[in-house]
């Protein structure tokens, strides 16, 4: 193998952040998940809006405030239409507003289940001696780097750790916690495949090739 394969991974969580809140029906603190639907209350010239969440155990609802007594005249008409129509993009944007959610709940659980979109930039997987991956994570998620790499490369997590310990898997930035830290947006990973007997298979998995 003699080439360098460069790949872009875009990692998107499958589930929005989940607040843990007291559930009066369950009688304890449980995780609530966004339903993707809004509740609107328009009274004269003002409007209230909430994103509806459901308890993951009993489906009891919790309404997360989005608009509170806002003058209708001050709103972007497009926003009001999106809320009224339960626009999926708007519901997703609110659900992934982590700072806003943390103001409503002391504990927020981030998703560790993700979808990985792979886009080769340069190089050929079959002849790759060096694999360079740029990790793009546009939304908050709770996935450790070692688990992501194991899933994305199709190898056990222990092997990812062994490659890192041997200096054949490098992180940029490196960081004190290494592979044990949560995935960061724009994290870079470089893997030396030259000594790996299954290097071509790893490169194909990284590039999403059959």
Q: What pLDDT digit, counting tens, does each position of 87-144 carry?
A: 999 999 999 999 999 999 999 999 999 999 999 999 999 899 999 999 999 999 999 9
Give me the mean pLDDT over the 34-55 stretch. Answer: 94
Q: Percent of the chain beyond pLDDT 90?
A: 86
Q: Percent of the chain beyond pLDDT 70?
A: 98
Indicate the number of domains in the chain.
Answer: 2
89 and 25, same structural domain? yes
Residue 1 has pLDDT above 60, yes or no: no
Give me the mean pLDDT over the 82-88 stretch. Answer: 96
120 and 92, same structural domain? no
142 and 59, same structural domain? no
Tokens of 102: 């943390």
Which domain, by its residues, includes 161?
3-14+111-207
Looking at residue 196, the DSSP 8-state letter turns out to be -
The per-residue pLDDT for 178 is: 83
Residue 38 has pLDDT above 80, yes or no: yes
155 and 86, same structural domain? no
Domain-terminating residue out of 87, 109, 131: 109
187 and 151, same structural domain? yes
Averaged pLDDT score across all residues of the chain: 93
Looking at residue 63, the DSSP 8-state letter turns out to be E
Q: What b/e sequence results for 87-101 when a residue is b if at least 16 CB atoms lie within 10 Å of its CB, and e otherwise?
A: beebbeebbbbeeeb
71 and 149, same structural domain? no
pLDDT tens digits along 170-187 = 999 887 678 988 888 999
191 and 115, same structural domain? yes
Cα dist. 186→41, 133, 138, 180, 207 in Å?
A: 40, 10, 9, 17, 17
148 and 76, same structural domain? no
The per-residue pLDDT for 43 is: 81
**57 and 77 in contact (C-beta within 8 Å)?**
no
Domain-terminating residue out of 76, 92, 109: 109
Domain-terminating residue out of 109, 144, 161: 109
Residue 45 has pLDDT above 70, yes or no: yes
**What are phi and psi for residue 61, nearest 5 degrees?**
-90, 150
148 and 179, same structural domain? yes
170 and 97, same structural domain? no
């Amino acid at each position: 193998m003699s080439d360098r394969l460069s790949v872009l991974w875009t990692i998107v969580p499958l589930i929005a952040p989940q607040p843990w809140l007291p559930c009066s029906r369950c009688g304890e603190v449980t995780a609530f998940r966004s339903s993707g639907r809004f509740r609107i209350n328009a009274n004269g010239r003002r409007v209230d809006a909430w994103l509806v969440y459901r308890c993951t155990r009993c489906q009891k609802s919790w309404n997360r405030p989005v608009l509170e007594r806002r003058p209708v005249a001050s709103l972007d008409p497009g926003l009001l239409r999106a809320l009224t129509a339960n626009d999926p993009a708007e519901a997703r944007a609110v659900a992934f507003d982590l700072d806003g959610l943390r103001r409503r709940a002391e504990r927020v659980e981030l998703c560790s289940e993700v979808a990985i979109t792979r886009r080769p930039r340069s190089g050929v997987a079959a002849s790759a001696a060096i694999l360079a991956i740029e990790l793009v994570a546009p939304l908050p998620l709770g996935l450790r780097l070692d688990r992501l790499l194991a899933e994305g490369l199709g190898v056990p997590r222990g092997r990812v750790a062994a490659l890192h310990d041997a200096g054949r898997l490098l992180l940029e930035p490196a960081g004190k916690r290494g592979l044990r830290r949560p995935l960061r947006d724009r994290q870079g990973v470089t893997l030396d495949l030259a000594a790996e007997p299954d290097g071509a298979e790893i490169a194909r998995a990284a590039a999403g090739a059959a």
